[in-house]
Structure 1
Amino acid sequence: MGQRTTASGTAILDDVPVSPEHVLPFQEVFDRPTRLGPFSQLYHTAIQLGIARAALADLKRFVLERARPWIDSGARRAADDTLLLFDAGALRVDLHAAEELLWLAAEQVDAVRDARDAGAVAAASIAVAKAKILATEVSLKAAGKLLELSGSQATLAQFNLDRHWRNARTHSLHDPVRWKFPTIGNYLLNGVPPPRRGYV
């Protein structure tokens, strides 16, 4: 289903000699402030936005070329159905907002001049978390609306349009955004910086 692998997977090797100097204690990288966490999250946020863009492009193509209007819409073409137009417009607005949040977060990560500045790194992580939340929500919404607005024909395997939802959902499981909301709230209300990890 969807994407089959992620960089955070586990490999178990038996009877393989490894010199101690070749063992990298990954979590120790985050014992001190670093831009690595927010930077890697920018990458994941961009993936979610790419999925949303692709779903919206396929929605446009399918609605213009194949979809039929709902019988009660009074429209001759699906692309003239007022409710469909509303949803397509709302998706575009949401996608634009997510894109702008990504740019703002990227600027905040770039603005961290000294990786030892814990406050700047925390603020960058929070900015990226906000962008990641919206990008994930938009990718799932766009992928779902693609099928909903394109009609039953869009579910045929020959079009493979469900891949957008599978990819968005599978990728979103890497580091669930539901954990980003309390992190942002704790930072906002209590001044508690986000944990230092590659997925915050």
Structure 2
Amino acid sequence: MTPTDPLLAGSGSGGGGRSAPRAVVAAARGDLWKALAIALAGVIATLMALRRFAWARFKSILFDAVSPTEMAVAVTPFDVLRSQSLVAVGAGACLALPAVVYYGRGAVDRWPSERLGRRTEALFVPLCSVAFLAGVVAGYGAVGPAAVEVLFGDLGVGSGWSVVQWGEVGAGVALLCGLVAQAAAAAAFLAVAPAVAGEAGR
């Protein structure tokens, strides 16, 4: 399978594009614990956000778009916890991805390390993380509810779905928006950072 991530395309050696993700992970092997720590922090933070306010807010938005009488509202606490755990794991993995790329940057052909200082390189992870969180917020607050209205109102999809299933749809949309924002930030960093570093070095 050819990778679609512009950071990974063309990297690796001897195995073509198919070996690119494996090569990056191998190059980051000594620092993977740092990426796992970021993932764990993301999982815990996401679970806390879901438990404290995000899940209740989403249900409120959902009930505004879909009548409770047209969905299976009754769910078990286990269903809710399982769904929230899956969302948290997905968010943690997405947050850890830039760290894996950063620590494995030696295997990324498009990483302009020879033109960047360490301080400039170190901005990559926080920049991508902030972009991911911004994308998630936009997806959660705007794109997700719009997707629910389109799916249920315009397409008639999801009649009889439970609130947990709708929650997974909304969370999936939010995470996808976060990944799109993260990829855009990564591409912008690779395009702009060398020029900024070059101007600063003059």
Return the TM-score normalized by structure 2.
Answer: 0.31
Q: Quick check: which one's helix share is greater?
A: 2
Larger RCO (alpha carbons 8 Å, 6+ apart): 1
Return the TM-score normalized by structure 1.
Answer: 0.31
